[in-house]
Structures are given as C-alpha cells and as structure tokens.
Amino acid sequence: MMVDDRFSHLAPEAVRLLDSSVAARFSLIERDKVIETQRFQIGTGRMEDLYGHPRIGRPSNLLAYGPSGIGKSHMIDAVVARHPIRRNRATGELIIPIAQMEFPPDPDRRWFAKELALALGYHTALPRDSADVFALLLRRLHEARTRLIICEEIGNLPSFRYREVQEFYGMTRWISNQSKIPMVYTGTDAALGLIEGDVQIARRFERLALTPWEPDAEFAGFVKAYLRFIPLREPTVCDREFISKLHKASGGITDSVVKILNRAAKRAIQGSADRLTPTDIRQDADLPPPTVTGRTVARRRSRRFI
C-alpha cells in the first residue's frame, strides 16, 4: 500500500479513517491512546520491575502520587493489560497476575478485604472472623499466583480518624509481610503525607512523583505524538504559540490536555479547516460538546474476570 506523503503527520490507523464518516473519526478521537513518553516509561517500568521481583521477606513497594488526571491510572491500565487475567486450561484455576483494586471510601478493614477478595475473583461472603478473612486473602493470593497488588486512590485517608489511619498502616504491613508480594499505591499529593506518617511504611515505599507538564520540549513531544492519532487532514503546527496556549489552558494536566485537543479536533472535523490552530485551543467545558447525532455507541463488556 502506497503511503500518501500528505498524511505523513498521521499514524496509519488515523489515515485509514480520513474518508470515513464523522462518527468513525470521532470514535478514534475518543479512544484511549497509549503515548509512551519518558514519564510513562519510567512509571510502567518501575511497576514491571516490582512485578518481576522475587518474593522476599520485605518486598519493595511503590507510591505513585500526583494531581488527579496526571496519568496514574493510564500507566496502571497499561501494565495490567500486559498481564491479563486467564484460566489454567488444565485445571480451570483462575490466574490473576495483578490484583487491581480501588481503596474503599470508608477505611474499614472488612471493606478493604472485600475489595481485595473481589480483585482476586472471590465473590462469596467473607468469613465473620477477621483472622479467617485474612487467611482467606493469603490463600487466594497464592492460588491466583498474584505477583503485584495495586490499590488506587488512597489519598482520602488523611481525613479519617487516627484509629482508622493506624488500621491502614497495619493492613499494609501485614499483607506485605505475609504475602511477600510487592504493592503499588496511588493517590493525590495527600497520599505522600499519609505514607510518610509512619516510619516503617515510609521505609518500605519508594516514591514516584508525577507532576504537571512544563511547557517544554517534552510536553511538545507528547502533544505531537498524541496528534498523530487524531484524524485531521492538515497537520497541526506545534509551534511555541500553540504549545504555550495549550499548556496554559490545561494547567499541564494530562487529562485536560487530551480533552482540550479532542474537543478542538471534533470542531475542526465538523468545520471546513480540518486542522488545529492556536485559536482552536480553549477551555470550553461550559459549552455543548461537538457530537454526532444518531451515533451507535459500542459499549465495552467488563473484562475483569473470565
């Protein structure tokens, strides 16, 4: 297949959709995209290092923290996708290489245990006795051959009572010691204060700070890479004015950058320019989003368990 030099600014996936319907082009714009920036590679690489680490008495752990929308969940989703849940063909045993959960809104030990049990494929009622609950979790971690535990959104804990925070520290130490499985916690900047509030926990967790983008060459590289998957016929000139305006409008938060570019691209497709310029970059959350009426929306089925 001949490559049209006019569209060298686009990835092949985007080129194929240039002559498709507006709905099809919008669909690609809305899809999650993996842009392997340096910070993405550092974050996912650290998690992969923990995943492959042999079990030891005091396993290394990681806290990834930063503002909401900075890309923590995106990194986690990429790592989890590399190690999907599956079943042993011979025994039918459920294998869950990475147990992924979200910290519950109430720091109750049983609620935490229930969320972890669900992440390990255990859907029946938990035992009444706490000792039996945690024995069950250890058994499930062994049976599921889990190599990494990920718990997201722990930053809300500083607002809870002293006893509840101490229970969180206790659960973390106990699961880490008994399972010998590395853990990854994520949260906002408040999570850093939580982890550093206990000497033992602070020593066990390395910290990975994810800060907003600066308006520099690395940010420009991310924007250019992202625009390759936006099916616009004309290339976007990512000059200093464009990058500066996009950074100012987004505050350097990855999620805001993506939403601003996506909305601007949809407007460009519905218009006649089919390209982005600095005048298209604006915060327009208070305006109706560009949409296609009568679209058929394909909803994903959950792939959490097989």
pLDDT digits (tens, 9 = 90+) for 114-155: 999 999 999 989 998 888 999 999 999 999 999 999 999 997
CA angle 68–73–77, rounded 5-degree value: 170
For 79, 164, 183, 270, the CA distances from 305, given in Å and listed in that order, are: 17, 31, 21, 39
pLDDT digits (tens, 9 = 90+) for 191-205: 998 899 899 999 999
Q: What is the pLDDT of residue 298?
A: 43
The whole-number average pLDDT for the span 86-115 is 89
Mean pLDDT, range 192-219, rounded to an integer: 93
CA distance linking residue 223 with residue 278, whole number of Å: 13
pLDDT tens-place string over residues 1-16: 455 678 899 999 999 9
Reply yes or no on whether the pLDDT at 83 is more than 60.
yes
pLDDT of the residue at 13: 93
d(CA 25, CA 231): 6
Is the per-residue pLDDT at 300 higher than 50? no
Q: Which residues of 14-46 are buried (b: 16+ CB within 10 A; e: fewer)?
A: bbebbeeeeebbbbbbeeebebebebbeebbeb
Q: Are 172 and 184 contacting, i.e. CB atoms less than 8 angstroms apart?
A: no
Q: What is the pLDDT of residue 3?
A: 53
Q: Give the pair of three-digit tokens for residue 79.
A: 């790592």
The pLDDT confidence band at residue 161, using thresholds 50, 70 and 90, is: confident
Confidence (pLDDT) at 243:
96
Q: Please give the average per-residue pLDDT across 89-118, as a whole number.
A: 90
229 burial class (0-12, 13-18, 19+ CB within 10 angstroms)? middle
The domains of the chain, with CATH numbers, are 5-32+229-280 (no CATH), 38-209 (3.40.50.300)
Encoded tokens for 77: 């989703």
